Amino acid sequence: MESKNIFVIGLDPFNETLLRGLPNADHYRFYDLLGYREAIRPTSRQIDLDELLTKAEERLSTFEGHIDAIIGYWDFPCSVIGPVLRQHHGLPGPRLEAVAACEHKYWSRLEQRRVLPDLVPQFRAVDPFASDPLSNMDLPFPFWLKPIKAHSSFLGFKIENRSDFEACLPIIRSEIGHFGRPFDTFLAMVEMPEEVTSIGGYYCIAEKIISQGEQCTLEGYAYAGDVAVYGVVDSIRTGQHQSSFSRYQYPSRVPSSVQDRMIEAAKQFIQQIGYDCAPFNMEFFWEPRTDVLSILEVNARISKSHCPIFKMVDGVSHQQVAIDLALGQRPNPPYREGRFPLAAKFMERVFEDGVVETIPSAENLASFHEGFPDSMLRILIHEGQRLAHLPYQDSYSFEIAEIFLGAETQTALLEKYRAVLEILPFKFGEGALH
């Protein structure tokens, strides 16, 4: 097998370890196209999409070998940088308009409603910079308000009444440009439908609340017009308004008949927008009492959060799917060939601001790796850090660590999680609650 040169956007040590553990990794040469601190967590917290694309093009132009593939596994701006670069270099990938129809929340809702009207909640575009943004809004309270483009529930608020709206409006106006400005740069590259042209990155979308019941994410891909789903992951929430994720668990425990309905809906939407030769993930809510199924959102990428748990259950991180598609090949992901029948990513959270006083020591980490050798851990904070300064958090909590665990049973999984917490001490000052 001939070696392939694969350029990765935002290559970081944690995910590089997973990439180098892929079955064909000996035949891949991975190159860091844009650094983690450039494309994913810029030190200035300002995303300049033009600058990032220019840097990437300069690095690709000076590469002396053949450019075989460009991949990414992060959210915006990575989710659009990859398709733009692949198009420019004539590599396999989706149309930019199809990517935008996933990433632009309002545009995506319009396309969903065309083919799946019963699965789409009421929604409205909201201009947060209007003198009275609610004056022409006929969507009743309560509703969710979030930017047209963001991630990690950044600037997402549950709006119970006008006073809630007015309280969050200054925050949105102050922060929305962080993603809005670079997203507008991307939108200028695509041909937008007339009904969307005025709805740019500085807009929000208001949606009827559908966060009741079971939440699931489908991981799939489109190749040569065919749409396939290779995994369904449960998303378990916690905290105020059930707005913060506590864990992702694979495989899903939702009935197979419901999963089949989700898969059929995903196929209809992906084919509707002409999305092809790329991975996607699509999130749903299912209400068991009423059997109502609703679409939450669609993302034009794999979920990096699911990579370790796919490896634990199926035997291979689904980064392999992204690589296969970027090389123009149909993926053939393994099924249930991993070490464990089930696995989860636990997101350890704090629900009040404070200063980090203590994180797990080297001895604690050694105990973790010795006691749980098949597990993985990422600590997302450092001592002396104020939680309010963490980037890209949801509006109601702060994520401090990611713990990836596999187990034989549901009971064993939760017991293992509690045992891990016993050897990973975190301490916060100034009133933070753990």
Task: Please name which of 53, 49, 63 lies closest in space to residue 85, comparing C-alpha atoms.
Answer: 53
What tokens were used for 9?
Answer: 């956007």
> Considering all CA atoms of the chain, what is the largest pairwise distance in Å, rounded to the nearest integer?
62
Q: Running DSSP on this structure, what letter comes out for residue 80?
A: H
Element counts in the chain: helices (H) and strands (E): 12, 17
pLDDT given for residue 203 in this prediction: 98
pLDDT given for residue 210 in this prediction: 85
Reported pTM: 0.93
Do 134 and 227 form a contact (C-beta atoms < 8 A)?
no
What tokens were used for 310?
Answer: 């796919």
Task: Please name which of 125, 133, 59, 132 lies closest in space to residue 89, comparing C-alpha atoms.
Answer: 59
Q: Running DSSP on this structure, what letter comes out for residue 303?
A: -
**Can you tell me the distance from the alpha carbon of 388 to that of 354, in angstroms, rounded to the nearest whole number?**
7
Do 235 and 297 form a contact (C-beta atoms < 8 A)?
no
Tell me the mean pLDDT per 10 residues along the chain, length 434.
Answer: 93 94 96 91 82 97 96 95 98 98 98 98 97 93 95 90 97 96 98 97 96 91 98 85 78 98 98 98 96 96 97 98 98 97 96 93 95 95 92 84 97 96 92 46
Residues 6+ apart with CB under 8 A from 174: none
pLDDT given for residue 396 in this prediction: 80
pLDDT given for residue 433 in this prediction: 45
Strand partners, 190: none
pLDDT given for residue 434 in this prediction: 42
Show the beta-strand stretches assigned E in 47-168: 69-71, 123-126, 143-147, 157-159
46, 47, 51, 53 alpha-carbon torsion, rounded to 10°: 170
**Can you tell me the distance from the alpha carbon of 207 to that of 144, in angstroms, rounded to the nearest whole number?**
5
Number of other CB atoms surrounding residue 233 within 10 Å: 25
Task: Please name which of 274, 239, 232, 275 lies closest in space to residue 255, comparing C-alpha atoms.
Answer: 232
Where helices occur in 274-361 by DSSP H, the ranges are 307-314, 319-326
Do 246 and 348 form a contact (C-beta atoms < 8 A)?
no
Do 263 and 285 form a contact (C-beta atoms < 8 A)?
no
Q: Are strands 69-71 and 4-11 parallel, antiparallel or unpaired?
A: parallel
**Can you tell me the distance from the alpha carbon of 21 to that of 383, in angstroms, rounded to the nearest whole number?**
31
Do 306 and 52 form a contact (C-beta atoms < 8 A)?
no
